[in-house]
A = this chain, B = another copy of it.
């Protein structure tokens, strides 16, 4: 098809290690396909509304390649929820002004479920007013909680970092005869995919003893009982908790229940909170370890598979748009598990917007707070096999 105008790309939501790789894939391919101008919005939708775009021709080819090595969201991200057009059209009018000024006919928004909602609303608005523009969402989130896609770009790298870090923490914990209670807190408010990825550390014999996900109700008494049993037996314990675990009334188990020196709520997280319980009830000392920002930023430990897929999502997006597709998110479909193979397809933005994909129960071994082999089959190829640690020697020495 004929090229009818310029490209605009924006980033939205929490950064991942490979969101800039998607940007790279899209931009490089856009120039290759003959697009004259490729713009990026600074700070996502905020930059579009406020006419704050960058013409990417100021960068050399080599500088654009550097995107693959930069953590964070290089063009600036934003958390912004567009209203319904019918209720408040003012931000849409500003968006249109910017689109017309730069002759934007291909628009790409790179983000998670909220961002797909934004993308969907913009697509609907532009269709309503008959402004010809092809709108495509590019998926991204470490949480892996988008529906209609096998897994999200960003998840594999975050999962690899979590796996490696949990292995290292568990190995460190083995170094002392009477070791500590380690409670490792991992991101994921709604879905436990990232906390679940810590189970991969079992492959090298250094997995966590207990994994708590938001998908199963959290009972504090059971938790204390489990900790006691394992500690009594092993004289050490490593626990992974998702920040999003909830009690039977659907309230977050969290530090918002405690106050800091200034009387503020919300200091520290669920790990710190649970550690307080363990210290009080079992008189065991320990350490709450929050993996914090590095989970979504640790580009030094990316999954190569994840990076490649992120680039391909970007490339595929521009090709689909030029071929006349709009109102979709780029999606990945797994053709086979025996030999991992991904095909790139599209899903309707409407279906994706604001949906949340939880870890299905067949991947959770509820009784043991561990993951089933179905989960391993699902996640192993995404995370890749780099940096394998072999620990036969360790188990011969310290686990005797």
Contact = CB atoms under 8 A, between A and B. Distances in A.
A66 B293 contact: no
A258 interface: yes
Q: How many copies make up the complex? A: 2
8 contacts: A42-B398, A71-B167, A72-B174, A76-B177, A168-B299, A257-B261, A264-B280, A289-B290
A15 B258 contact: no
A74 B171 CA distance: 8
Interface in A78-129: 78
Contacts of A264: 276, 279-280
Interface residues of A, number: 72
Nearest to A289: B292
Contact of A71 (B54, B171, B262, B398): B171
* Most chain B Cβ neighbours within 10 Å, of A69, A75, A182: A69
Nearest to A42: B397
Given A397-B54, A398-B76, A70 B293 contact: no
B298 A394 contact: no
Interface of A: 11, 15, 40, 42-43, 46, 54, 58-59, 63-64, 66-67, 69-78, 164-165, 167-169, 171-177, 182, 257-258, 260-262, 264, 267-268, 272-273, 275-276, 279-280, 287, 289-290, 292-294, 296-301, 387, 389-394, 396-398
7 closest A-B pairs by CB? A72-B171, A168-B297, A73-B175, A172-B297, A71-B168, A258-B261, A71-B171
Contact of A267 (B168, B175, B276): B276
Contacts of A261: 257-258, 273, 276
A296 B11 CA distance: 34
Contacts of A297: 168-169, 171-172
A164 B300 CA distance: 7
Contacts of A300: 164-165, 168, 301, 387
